[in-house]
């Protein structure tokens, strides 16, 4: 049995915050606002897993009113979503994710993002695809007001093992 989940996450860019995407701190004059570290890519991936399981959304599991999550590294949220996935007897098929950001360029950081995500998920990097695109000066992404990340995940029910 397969289950598909998808999610989008948006965070505004603001002064005085670090830019963390996919668990990578990227040098930039602005960072992502948020209760946690604001890592939109991690949030979209975690929520796509939660959604594939039919378990609601990210805010249900990690509310922004809970001080335990203030400033938390969002890779921990991805790990928690992966634990939930395994507890429901599912395993990751693959993830396809997109970061929409005008600048800085994401290409130099994508391999490290994939490595961070694979570690948090307990999977092989080959199961994760991360890509990025610009807003081409259009909309809030193009005006450098915010970042959008999207993720699609495929989960597969683990096969029961027969005991001899």
- What confidence score (pLDDT) does residue 163 get? 65
Residues with Cβ within 8 Å of 65's Cβ and at least 6 positions away in sequence, in order, are none
Please tell me whether 2 is known to bind a ligand: no
pLDDT per position as a tens digit, 35-44: 999 999 999 9
Q: pLDDT, tens digit, for every residue of 52-78?
A: 999 999 999 999 999 999 999 999 999
Domains defined for the chain, CATH in brackets: 2-157 (3.30.1330.50)
According to the annotation, is 133 in a ligand binding site? no
By residue count, the chain amounts to 164
8 is in an annotated binding site: no
The reply to whether 11 sits in an annotated binding site is: yes
Query: Does the annotation place 131 within a ligand binding site?
Result: no
Nearest Cα neighbor of 77 from 105, 103, 53, 45 is 45
Give the DSSP letter string of the chain: -EEEEEEEEEEEEETTS-EEETTEEE--S-EE-SSSS--HHHHHHHHHHHHHTT---HHHHS-TT-GGGTT--THHHHHHHHHHHHHTTEEEEEEEEEEE-SSS-SGGGHHHHHHHHHHHHTS-GGGEEEEEE--TT-HHHHTTSEEEEEEEEEEEEPPPPPP-
- C-beta of residue 116 within 8 angstroms of C-beta of residue 75: yes
**Annotated binding residue at 43?**
yes
On whether 124 is known to bind a ligand per the annotation, the reply is no
Q: What is the pTM of this model?
A: 0.95
10 in a labelled binding site: yes
Average pLDDT over the chain, rounded to whole?
96
Flag whether 105 is marked binding.
yes
Question: Does the annotation list 62 as a binding residue?
Answer: yes
Q: Is residue 103 part of an annotated ligand binding site?
A: yes
110 carries a ligand binding annotation: no
């Amino acid at each position: 049995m397969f289950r598909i989940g998808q999610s989008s996450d948006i965070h505004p860019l603001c002064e005085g915050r670090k830019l963390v995407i996919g668990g990578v701190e990227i040098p930039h004059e602005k960072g992502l606002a948020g209760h946690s570290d604001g890592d939109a890519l991690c949030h979209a991936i975690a929520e796509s897993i939660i959604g594939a399981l039919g378990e609601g959304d990210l805010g249900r599991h990690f509310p922004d009113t809970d001080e335990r999550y203030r400033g938390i590294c969002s890779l921990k949220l991805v790990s928690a979503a992966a634990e939930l996935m395994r507890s429901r007897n599912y395993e990751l098929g693959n993830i396809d994710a997109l970061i929409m950001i005008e600048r800085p360029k994401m290409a130099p950081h994508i391999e490290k993002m994939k490595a961070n995500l694979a570690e948090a998920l307990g999977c092989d990097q080959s199961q994760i695809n991360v890509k990025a695109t610009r807003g081409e000066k259009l909309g809030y992404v193009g005006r450098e007001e915010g970042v959008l990340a999207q993720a699609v995940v495929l989960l597969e029910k683990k096969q029961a093992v027969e005991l001899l």
